[in-house]
Amino acid sequence: MKIFKTILYLLLLFSIAGYTQGRISVESKVDKAKILVGDVIQYSVIITHDKEVTLLTSPLAVNLGMFEIQDYNVHDAVKTDSGWVREQIDYDISTFDTGEYQIPAVEYRYTVGDDTTSYALETEPIDIMVESLNPDQAGDIRDIKAPMQPPANYTMWYLIGGGVLLAVIAGYLIFYIIRKRRTGESILPKRQTPPRPAHVVALEELDELAQSDLLDKGEVKAHYSRLSDIIRIYIEGRYFIDAMEMTSEEIYDNLYQRKIAPDHLSDLRQILSLSDFVKFAKYVPTRTENETSINLAVNFVNNTKLIFSRQPEAASANEDEQREADPSEDESYTGESDIVEEREEKE
């Protein structure tokens, strides 16, 4: 009867061990199996188990035989597609002895669920060949290292360098202040006036060009050169491209890619093409073409101008009173109405 109970107990232990090991697996590997003395090997242990398994072994609580652990890295647990948990530990190990060595099996203990019984699972041992740096030398005899020197104290040098730097900065500031006072300039930079909107400047210059007597004097090339420059400078300020250094076709292609309305692009093409003909082909336009070119330029600027307007509910009563007193304070004010009215009075 005692023999029968013993057999049943052993069978129960084997069945429990087989059941627990079916819920966990362990794998070990190295990045290279043949090294030189002092080389660092990465030895990795990969443990895959279900969520009921709890590992008890610490990453440092391993014995790797003749190999020293230089560093280690415990990766975050990753959940696999099957629902299991994958844990990986990488060890950076090395040895300074030559010969054939073996990374011994590493035992990892674990528990399953609420069961307090700990179980063990081992990795496979791995053979490593360690060769000498100089095959002509027998064994691992190495020269004695030179004595270590204590680190130098650079505190005094830092203080001297900091004092010299402060003296240079102070000298430059004194020189800067004296020079500004001699020239009568302000020591502190003055606040710069923000640039005017590109379309406001362009419309004013187009109005001045229309009122000029360049055409009456027969200076047709100068008139159209000025017209082309006004439009190109406006495009630079409006679309932030280097239009002054571009050909007319490059400007057109660039604005076409920005999906500008075809009607506006057509106006621009007529302006630039006519200007190029006059400047480079010595073409003499008619009076109608002269008037049309100015009108097309004004239309192009008005149709493509960028205006920031304030929402009605965002304006306060005080801001409304200031806007009535001085319309130029309004963010949406462009000054276009003054130009149009002045042009109509002159016509």
Residue spans per domain, the chain: 23-131, 198-306
Q: Could you tell me the sign of the dihedral formed by the alpha carbons of 292, 295, 301, 304, in that order?
A: negative
C-alpha–C-alpha distance, residues 100 and 119, integer Å: 32
pLDDT digits (tens, 9 = 90+) for 61-88: 677 878 888 888 888 888 887 778 888 8
Q: Is this prediction's pTM over 0.85? A: no
At residue 246, the pLDDT reads 94
At residue 13, the pLDDT reads 45
**What is the CATH topology of the domain spanning 23-131?**
Immunoglobulin-like (2.60.40)
Class of residue 227 by CB neighbours under 10 A (exposed 0-12, middle 13-18, buried 19+): buried
Residues of the chain with confidence (pLDDT) below 70 = 1-22, 58-61, 134-143, 308-347
At residue 310, the pLDDT reads 64
Is the Cβ–Cβ distance between 110 and 53 less than 8 Å? yes
At residue 58, the pLDDT reads 67
At residue 329, the pLDDT reads 43
Is the Cβ–Cβ distance between 200 and 334 less than 8 Å? yes
At residue 241, the pLDDT reads 93
| Amino acid occupying residue 5 | K
pLDDT digits (tens, 9 = 90+) for 308-324: 666 555 545 455 555 55
At residue 43, the pLDDT reads 85
For the chain, the first-to-last Cα distance in angstroms comes to 129
C-alpha–C-alpha distance, residues 120 and 110, integer Å: 6
Is the Cβ–Cβ distance between 306 and 170 less than 8 Å? no
